[in-house]
Amino acid sequence: MPELTRRGLLAASAGAAALAACKPAAETKAATGPWTPDATALAAQVRDKQISAAELMEATLRKAEALQPKLNFLVATDFDRALEKAKAGGQTGPFAGVPFLVKDLDDAKGMATRHGARWTAAMPPAAKQDVYVDSFERAGLIFFGKSATPEYGFLPTTEPLAFAPTRNPWDTNRSSGGSSGGAAAAVAAGVIPIAHASDGGGSIRIPASCCGLFGLKPSRGRMIDPNPGKSAVDISVNHAVSRSVRDSAALFAATERADGPYPAVGMVTAPLNRKLKVGLLLKSGNGKDPGPDVAAAIDHTAKLLESLGHTVEPTTWPVDSARFGQDFLVLWSAGAAQLVEGIAKATGKTPDETMLEPFSLRMARLIAGLPPGALEAVIGRLETNVRQYDSWFDTYDVVLSPVLTNPPVELGFVDGDVPFEELSARLTDYVGYTPLQNVAGAPSMSVPLHWTKAGLPVGSQICARAGQEKLLFELAYQLEAAEPWAGRKPPVSA
């Protein structure tokens, strides 16, 4: 096997941005079965000694080496140590011996955490890791690298100025989504079957939709976390993107808190066996209709749900969606302001555009310009939105909506170098369906049930009341069985 080194691999990916991008292929027809095993199947092969963990890791590293220059999903690698761990064996848990990527917003021992930012270029490898990352290792997963993310996860595309853009395996001219775009690209292309992802405003669901994957955002406080959060401002949660529902369900069961705010879900294995009342939400948060491809996708999903015996009826936002969008931008910007303050304390320098992207700096300035009490008023309204969201489910079991207003956009359309006012307008039009569940602390999933005529995936978002992950997993199993997606293979793949 060729030598796989961090320096050589990342040097190759830096040059890949200059390569001619692949054109989208005609729509890929779904096969009757998966084109590559999921993590559950791979773990069974290792457990049954059909393949060793070391052989599996070697094959994965070869795939990573081949596809990194085309997709740029890695920002750090730990190949040698991963192979050593696989050879040593001893992993336990449901995914013992399965290769895995940790998103580059979380510490993983032995690899630098870059947060997609230029100012972290000299960051040393992490000496310790987050407790949630520990739970992945307890599940038996072996880390071989860090997946790419936009700067501090702020944008719905993975195009940080610190690295070359991550490209979508279905069309390398297009975004893989964000902020878990590196994870989604690697899974969609078949390098690995499941990868760490996190979601603070859609960052699991958006890349899942863009890359044709399953992605479930958990409830607030559900997963293992030293600071799980209890209020509307605690918006970010961890989980994964995967090709199969059972992989996501198994990792969820292995990494959820035993002492969380809701009864533990455990391992969900069976499809839904009851009929649901489904609300259908079409208009985005800014009051606009989705584009024709997305409208067709949601219509398709609504009809599929009805064919399975569920009742679907139109609904509207339970909150003032225009006001909510403005308030969420302020909350997002407050995070940027805290980031700028923290970097200044850590470095003794006022962050500028050599350290952070223009969008991050401009959000921080937005907070500085607010009148006294404005942020507190925003937080108060968001807490009210939590209760309004919960009341939605006095009427409906789940709500169906788009994830994004359009299929994955072209690279450059919503990256951090676009002027702030123009970028804010584009984001308002493109990302209007996913942030409410983060504020509400409620579970939501993107299910890959539709591909456009140009071969681009379009996910359908289905959300539920806080704590209702079991219901969503069961419904996801039912949809997966009704219209399997595992046979769809992107043009750029292992």
In a domain, 434, yes or no: yes
Mean pLDDT of 451-456: 98
Phi then psi for residue 279, to 5 deg, are: -85, 140
CATH code of the domain covering residue 297: 3.90.1300.10
Does the annotation count 103 as an active-site position?
yes
Task: For residue 228, name the pLDDT band (cuts at 50, 70, 90).
Answer: confident
Mean pLDDT of 227-234: 92
In a domain, 352, yes or no: no
Compute how many other C-beta atoms are within 10 angstroms of the C-beta atom of residue 258: 6
> pTM to 2 decimals?
0.94
Residue 299: per-residue pLDDT: 98
Is the pLDDT at 25 greater than 50? The verdict is no
Residue 21: per-residue pLDDT: 37
Is the pLDDT at 20 greater than 70? The verdict is no
Q: Which of 22-36, 190-204, 401-415 has the lowest mean pLDDT?
A: 22-36
Mean pLDDT of 235-249: 98
Give me the percent of the chain exceeding a pLDDT of 90: 92
Strand partners, 242: 194, 214
Residue 100: per-residue pLDDT: 99
In a domain, 469, yes or no: yes
Q: Which of 147, 175, 180, 203 is catalytic?
A: 203
Question: Half-sphere exposure of residue 109, counting CA atoms within 13 Å on the CB side?
Answer: 13
| pLDDT, tens digit, 9 for 90 and up, residues 281-297 | 999 999 999 999 999 99
What is the count of structural domains for the chain? Answer: 1
Task: For residue 29, name the pLDDT band (cuts at 50, 70, 90).
Answer: very low
Is the pLDDT at 179 greater than 60? The verdict is yes
Mean pLDDT of 379-406: 98
Mean pLDDT of 304-332: 97
Q: What is the mean pLDDT of the chain?
A: 94
Q: Which of 147, 175, 176, 179 is catalytic?
A: 179
Residue 22: per-residue pLDDT: 40
Task: For residue 32, name the pLDDT band (cuts at 50, 70, 90).
Answer: low
Is the pLDDT at 438 greater than 90? The verdict is yes
Is the pLDDT at 135 greater than 60? The verdict is yes
First to last CA, the chain: 16
Residue 4: per-residue pLDDT: 33
Q: Which of 63, 70, 85, 103 is catalytic?
A: 103
Does the annotation count 248 as an active-site position?
no
Of 216, 132, 232, which Cα lies nearest the Cα of 468?
216
- Show the domain range for 115: 6-321+383-482
Compute how many other C-beta atoms are within 10 angstroms of the C-beta atom of residue 343: 19
In a domain, 349, yes or no: no
Mean pLDDT of 335-343: 97
Does the annotation count 219 as an active-site position?
no
Give me the percent of the chain exceeding a pLDDT of 70: 94
Q: What is the 3-state secondary structure (H, E, C) of the chain?
A: CCCCCHHHHHHHHHHHCCCCCCCCCCCCCCCCCCCCCCHHHHHHHHHCCCCCHHHHHHHHHHHHHHHHHHHCCEEEECHHHHHHHHHHCCCCCCCCCCEEEEECCCCECCECCCCCCHHHCCCCCCCCCCHHHHHHHHCCCEEEEEECCCHHHCCCCCCCCCCCCCEECCEEEEECCCCCHHHHHHHHCCCCCEEEEEECCCCCHHHHHHHCCEEEECCCCCECCCCCCCCCCCCCEEEEEECCHHHHHHHHHHHECCCCCCCCCCCCCCCCCCCCEEEECCCCCCCCCCCHHHHHHHHHHHHHHHHCCCEEEECCCCCCHHHHHHHHHHHHHHHHHHHHHHHHHHHCCCCCCCCCCHHHHHHHHHHHCCCCCHHHHHHHHHHHHHHHHHHHCCCCCEEEEECCCCCCCECCCCCCCCCHHHHHHHHHHHCCCCHHHHHHCCCEEEEEEEECCCCCEEEEEEECCCCCHHHHHHHHHHHHHHCCCCCCCCCCCC
Mean pLDDT of 61-70: 98
How many Å apart are CA 417 and CA 408, to the nearest integer?
A: 18
In a domain, 361, yes or no: no
Four-residue CA torsion sign, 432, 363, 206, 472: negative
Residue 227: per-residue pLDDT: 83
Is the pLDDT at 9 greater than 70? The verdict is no
In a domain, 363, yes or no: no
Is the pLDDT at 139 greater than 80? The verdict is yes
Q: Which amino acid, 159?
A: E
How many Å apart are CA 421 and CA 400, to the nearest integer?
A: 30
Task: For residue 194, name the pLDDT band (cuts at 50, 70, 90).
Answer: very high
Mean pLDDT of 85-94: 98
| pLDDT, tens digit, 9 for 90 and up, residues 254-274 | 999 999 999 999 999 999 999
In a domain, 365, yes or no: no
Task: For residue 178, name the pLDDT band (cuts at 50, 70, 90).
Answer: very high
Residue 151: per-residue pLDDT: 98
Residue 63: per-residue pLDDT: 98
Task: For residue 124, name the pLDDT band (cuts at 50, 70, 90).
Answer: very high
Please tell me which residue, 223 or 10, carries the higher pLDDT value.
223
Mean pLDDT of 365-390: 97
Burial 150-172 (b: 16+ CB within 10 A, else e): bbbbbbbbbbbbbbbbbbbbbbb
